[in-house]
A and B are shown apart, each in its own frame.
Chain A
Amino acid sequence: MDDMKMSEELPNSASRRNFIKGVIAAGAAASSTAYLFRSTTLHSQPSAPGAVERLVTLNVNGQDRRVDLLPQDTLAWTLRYKLGLTGTKLGCDRAECGACTVLIDDVPHYSCSVLAHRARGKKIVTIEGLADAATGKLSPVQQGVVDEQGFQCAFCMSGFVMATTGYLKTNPNPTRQELAHGISGNLCRCQDYDKILTALMKGAEYMRNA
């Protein structure tokens, strides 16, 4: 008992307590910063020097874009906050909702769960790259959405449109049931699925007739 009391009074012990307090405070500051910027704490950690190349080229919507990447940067994060392509939405940031779907080499991927480094050397297409850049002509799926007004708040829209565009490349003539299955990885919080499917089926029809 006396020993414990003594150790409590040692100057070292007091400084250790202060040290731990400091660590807790720093941890709280780091995690609240991460919350505000909609990221995991990984984003705010410095990368180990020399681990991977930082300045890389990503092919986005047909353009080669130079971007400074940390190893832990996700593709969605990179597209939105480093390349300014905010049409790609972050809904859950954990591969549940599909709002961040983009095409990588024509295959739909949840960009929140793909590291940007994994997309090097591949062709990335986002919602901004669907319409014809020169004429502004909408892609068939986009035109279907405009004509049928398929979405309510449209936060999930870019994910649905990208997923459909990718799915139609493998099955250009789907039944309503097949298309519903093809985009089942995307969620709509407005519960507007029936109108969304109608709009996307219209898009599929436009694509076949184009």
Chain B
Amino acid sequence: MADDKLVGQNCTTPALVATVTGKSRCAEDDRLEGMLVAELLGSEGAWTS
């Protein structure tokens, strides 16, 4: 790949500044228009045995 300018460099997570100032939102922070009830379902696949 020709565009390897990021290889070997420290990268800041794109959302880090938003996270650290409390602006980023977790799923449960969202309230959609007209929403009465919501349920968050976790993945059933992301388990190790």
Provide the bound-state CA to CA distance between A128 and B29, in Å.
15
Shortest Cβ gap from A18 to chain B (Å):
28
Interface segment out of the listed A68-76, A103-111, A150-158: A150-158
Contact residue among A36, A86, A127, A138 (Cβ-Cβ distance under 8 Å from B29): A86
By beta carbon, the residue of chain A nearest B36 is: A36
Q: Is B38 an interface residue (CB 8 A)?
A: yes
A–B pairs, 24, beta carbons within 8 Å: A36-B37, A36-B39, A80-B29, A85-B22, A86-B22, A86-B29, A89-B26, A126-B22, A127-B22, A128-B23, A131-B21, A138-B17, A142-B20, A142-B21, A145-B16, A146-B16, A146-B17, A146-B20, A149-B12, A149-B13, A149-B16, A154-B19, A154-B20, A157-B20
A146-B12, A146-B17 as given contacts; A155 in contact with B26, CB under 8 Å: yes
B contact residues around A151 at 8 Å (CB): 19
Q: Is A114 an interface residue (CB 8 A)?
A: no
B contact residues around A87 at 8 Å (CB): 21-23
Shortest Cβ gap from B45 to chain A (Å):
18
Q: Is A101 an interface residue (CB 8 A)?
A: no
Number of B residues with CB within 8 Å of any CB on chain A: 16
Contact residue among B22, B25, B26, B37 (Cβ-Cβ distance under 8 Å from A128): B22
Shortest Cβ gap from B46 to chain A (Å):
13
Is A128 within 8 A of B21, CB to CB?
Answer: yes
Provide the bound-state CA to CA distance between A102 and B5, in Å.
40
Is A36 within 8 A of B22, CB to CB?
Answer: no
B contact residues around A122 at 8 Å (CB): none
Is A145 within 8 A of B37, CB to CB?
Answer: no
A contact residues around B22 at 8 Å (CB): 85-88, 126-128, 158
Provide the bound-state CA to CA distance between A91 and B39, in Å.
16
